[in-house]
């Protein structure tokens, strides 16, 4: 058993955990834990993109799109914060080196996805999540104040009185670690590893939510699980390969076994999923078909190169034929309840990313809001931690001076 002392400890190395670390002061001593290797986080898998408010005139439409997709169960304050913070996030990512697609004149190119009233999604080919995550990771690795431990799993949080004072963890070799910290952040991702068919990595098993719940930390909407309508149908075991919603935004359509279109592909994800499942049941089939016939060849090859190659590996050429698709578990809208600054109901315990529930997504997440939500509220967590730790040190300093 080993004991460690840090200013901040973060369980999880996806975009939420990484961005929090980047936004904390450089004098803070930070430890980050990765349950598997650094590549095995779901942030790496996000294909479609990241939303941004186009301009002030777009605010009402973006707000309504998010609310409508979430069945109006969204926390309005959180939605407002996310939307109004979006441009600063995109600008910051570009400054850090993220290569979003651009038009010939150098301005950002935007794509459209289901339930969006207009194109407002920044993207990098069909691997936006990987582009952002690898970029953030490269910057975090350069920080001398941040230590990253791979293959180290959080097993519990440490509590004194009613406050979180760190976390317990176990290494791949079975060594137990007690990590004491002024502030603790849960960024352990979603729950896809609990499902037989999911687009998530198997290691995402809801650790943060489970451990928080065991200590009486408030959880919220634990039954709000999103199914993605279009995952590549395969009889091979393992993680389901997602075919981005932006493919449908660019003109791909859903067909039944007779080659008939049966749904508006740009409806919210839960509506499209229901239509697919009903069509499969009616026809007695294990999948439906996604046709790229209406998508220009250059769009397929330049916007969706990863999807194109994966489908080729499975024996389907998107340029010549439709590909079989089926719904699979994709995203978790519930989680550890947090306020607008990502604080949980336990002092000094924060949750960010898919582990948290700040109410942005409501009952059903709008496409490409996940990366944005994670980054916006990770930044707010870092700001809150910085403020509270500064206040604590000033109080201790003043108290010491008064006493002495």
209-256 confidence digits (pLDDT tens): 999 999 999 999 999 999 999 999 988 878 899 999 899 999 999 999
Q: Where in the chain is the domain with CATH 3.90.700.10?
A: 226-329
Mean pLDDT of the chain: 94
Q: What pLDDT does 397 receive?
A: 55
Q: How far apart are CA 264 and CA 253, in angstroms?
A: 8
pLDDT by residue (tens digit) across 114-165? 899 999 999 999 999 999 999 999 999 999 999 999 999 999 999 999 999 9
269 tagged catalytic: yes
What are phi and psi for residue 64, nearest 5 degrees? -65, -40
| 190-194, 326-330, 376-380: which is most confident | 376-380
Q: What pLDDT does 110 receive?
A: 96
Count of residues in the chain: 404
Q: Quick check: pTM over 0.75?
A: yes
Q: What pLDDT does 390 receive?
A: 73
Q: What pLDDT does 45 receive?
A: 82
Q: Where in the chain is the domain with CATH 3.50.50.60?
A: 2-224+333-395
CATH architecture, domain 2-224+333-395: 3-Layer(bba) Sandwich (3.50)
Q: What pLDDT does 221 receive?
A: 97
Q: What pLDDT does 391 receive?
A: 64
pLDDT by residue (tens digit) across 272-298? 999 999 999 999 999 999 999 999 999
CATH number of 226-329: 3.90.700.10
The pLDDT of residue 404 is above 70: no
Asked if 349 and 212 touch (Cβ cutoff 8 Å), the reply is yes
Residue 46: pLDDT band with limits 50, 70, 90: confident
The pLDDT of residue 176 is above 90: yes
| Catalytic residue (one of 239, 269, 365, 380) | 269
Residue 403: pLDDT band with limits 50, 70, 90: low
Residue 103: Cβ-neighbour burial (10 angstroms; 0-12, 13-18, 19+): exposed
Q: How far apart are CA 379 and CA 155, in angstroms?
A: 25
Question: Dihedral (C-alpha) 200, 203, 205, 208: value to the nearest 10 degrees?
Answer: -110
The pLDDT of residue 373 is above 80: yes
């Amino acid at each position: 058993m080993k004991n460690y002392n840090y200013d901040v400890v973060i369980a999880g190395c996806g975009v939420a955990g990484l961005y929090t670390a980047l936004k904390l002061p450089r004098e803070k001593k930070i430890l980050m834990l990765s349950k598997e290797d650094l590549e095995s986080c779901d942030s790496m898998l996000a294909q479609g993109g990241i939303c941004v408010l186009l301009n002030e005139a777009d605010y009402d439409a973006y707000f309504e799109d998010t609310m409508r997709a979430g069945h109006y169960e969204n926390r309005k304050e959180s939605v407002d914060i996310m939307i109004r913070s979006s441009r600063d996030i995109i600008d910051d990512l570009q400054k850090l080196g993220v290569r979003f697609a651009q038009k010939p004149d150098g301005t950002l190119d935007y794509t459209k996805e289901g339930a969006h009233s207009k194109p407002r999604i920044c993207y990098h080919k069909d691997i936006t999540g990987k582009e952002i995550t690898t970029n953030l990771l490269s910057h975090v690795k350069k920080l001398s104040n941040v230590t990253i431990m791979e293959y180290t799993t959080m097993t519990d949080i440490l509590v004194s009185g009613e406050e979180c004072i760190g976390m317990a963890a176990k290494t791949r070799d079975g060594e137990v670690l007690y990590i004491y910290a002024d502030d603790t952040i849960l960024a352990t991702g979603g729950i896809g590893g609990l499902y037989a068919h999911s687009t998530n990595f198997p290691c995402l098993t809801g650790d943060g939510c489970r451990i928080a719940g065991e200590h009486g930390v408030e959880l919220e909407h634990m039954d709000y699980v999103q199914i993605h309508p279009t995952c590549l149908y395969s009889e091979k075991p393992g993680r389901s390969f997602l075919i981005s919603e932006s493919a449908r935004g660019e003109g791909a359509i859903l067909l039944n076994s007779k080659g008939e279109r049966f749904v508006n592909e740009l409806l919210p994800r839960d509506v499209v999923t229901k239509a697919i499942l009903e069509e499969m049941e009616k026809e007695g089939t294990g999948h439906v078909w996604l046709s790229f016939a209406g998508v220009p060849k250059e769009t397929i090859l330049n916007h969706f190169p990863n999807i194109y190659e994966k489908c080729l590996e499975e024996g389907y050429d998107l340029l010549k034929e439709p590909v079989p698709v089926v719904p699979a578990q994709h995203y978790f809208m519930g989680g550890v309840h947090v306020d607008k600054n990502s604080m949980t109901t336990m002092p000094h315990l924060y949750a960010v990313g898919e582990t948290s529930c700040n109410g942005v997504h409501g009952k059903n997440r709008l496409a490409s809001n996940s990366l944005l939500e994670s980054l916006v509220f990770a930044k707010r967590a870092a700001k809150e931690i910085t403020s509270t730790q500064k206040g604590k040190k000033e109080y201790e300093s003043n108290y010491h001076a008064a006493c002495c």
